Each structure stands twice: as C-alpha cells, then as structure tokens.
Amino acid sequence: MVISFPSSTTTTATPSSSPATTTTTTRPSHGISNYLLSTLKARFTRFRQVPTLDLSTAPGRAAIVILLCRALYSLAHVVLAVQSRSNTPSEMAVVTLFLVLDLLVVAYCLGRIAGLHGERKVLGFWIGRRQLDAFLSGCAAVHVLYMLYFLIFVDLRAVVFSLGNGPLLTGVKFVIVVVTWVVDRPPTDENGALGIA
C-alpha cells in the first residue's frame, strides 16, 4: 500500500534573457503528525532529564533508603552467586545486567515520585504530595523489613539458588512504576480539569 501526499508545484520565470525556470515542491502541513512529533519530543526530553533527590526532604530520604536496600540486596545476590560457582559466566553477566538495570529504573522512578508538584486526579481520587510521602515511607519500611528478614532468617543457599530474590521486591518495583505513571500525568485543578503547572 502506497500513501502519497498531494503537493503543489510553483513555476516562476526569471527576467533574464534565458528562459530558465525554478520549480519548488511543497507539502501541506499535517496537524496530526506535527502533534505526534511534538508529543514524542516532549516525552523524550522529559525522560532525558535525570531527576535529583533532595536529602533534606522526607521523600528524598525515603527514596535513598529504598535505593540503598535494593543495591545491598543486589550486591549480596551477585557475590553469593559468584561464590557458589553454580552459574556460568554468561548467566552471571545477564543477572548482573538485570540487577543494574533494575536499580536504574527504580532510581529514575523514585526521583520522579519524590519530585512531584501539584495534585493528580486518578480514578476519582486526588493524589498529592502527602499521599506520595506516605507511599515512599511505606516502600522504605517494606525494603528495610525485607533486608532484616534477608539478613536474619534466609539461608544463604536459598539466595544462591534464586529463592531469596523473592517476588516481594519485584512486586514493590512494579507498584513504584505504576505510581510513576500517575506522577507523570499532568496536574489538575479543583474541578479535575487539566491545569498549567
């Protein structure tokens, strides 16, 4: 299937002695494609900006606690898996890459959540700074309790055989990603209409 756009051709004659002509072809402006390109450019620009964490605020401190717990757990997982020698080097490279990417995704999402300004109305509920502070504090508590459980009760052999990389941290990561989606929505005013912020 071939899609062709209509074009207009303009021919102008020059006043010189030779009958030279100039031809230009123009395409009409397409509003939808310009809108899509500007939307994609805005999203790419927003994702390129690295969010920062302010340690003087409660959300920043909670995000740092979450990142430290995840980094310590990932480091312990890699070290214990290397010591067990039950994995091939290629498997270890894939696991290490996955753990690093996991940490980067969570760091980006936590930075976006901690930097929220304004309120969002999602599924009829208002979500603002107070709710996200409670969410980050809850996530930090879950991570700290999981690290304590990991250090005290989990047999190290279970970690080596991937039984310690429980679905709990993966589930928390997916919840963090969903909350980041909520944060990326534009702010709304009192009536639920989009506002400029």
pLDDT in tens, 44-89: 555 555 566 666 777 888 888 888 888 888 887 787 777 777 778 8
Q: Which residues contact 87 (CB under 8 A, 6 or more apart)?
A: 81, 95
pLDDT category at 197 given cuts 50, 70, 90 is: very low
Distance, CA of 54 to CA of 141 (rounded, Å): 19
Q: What is the pLDDT of residues 3-12, one digit of tens each?
A: 444 444 455 5
Distance, CA of 173 to CA of 83 (rounded, Å): 27
Query: Cβ(176)–Cβ(106) under 8 Å?
Result: yes
- Model's pTM, two decimal places? 0.63
Q: Which residues contact 101 (CB under 8 A, 6 or more apart)?
A: none
Give the C-alpha distances (Å, rounded to integers) separating 115 from 71, 126, 167: 21, 17, 27
* Residue positions counted in the chain: 197
pLDDT category at 179 given cuts 50, 70, 90 is: confident
Q: Where are the alpha helices (DSSP H) in the chain?
A: 31-48, 58-84, 89-114, 129-152, 156-160, 167-183
Q: What is the pLDDT of residues 95-128, one digit of tens each?
A: 888 888 888 888 888 888 888 777 777 777 788 7
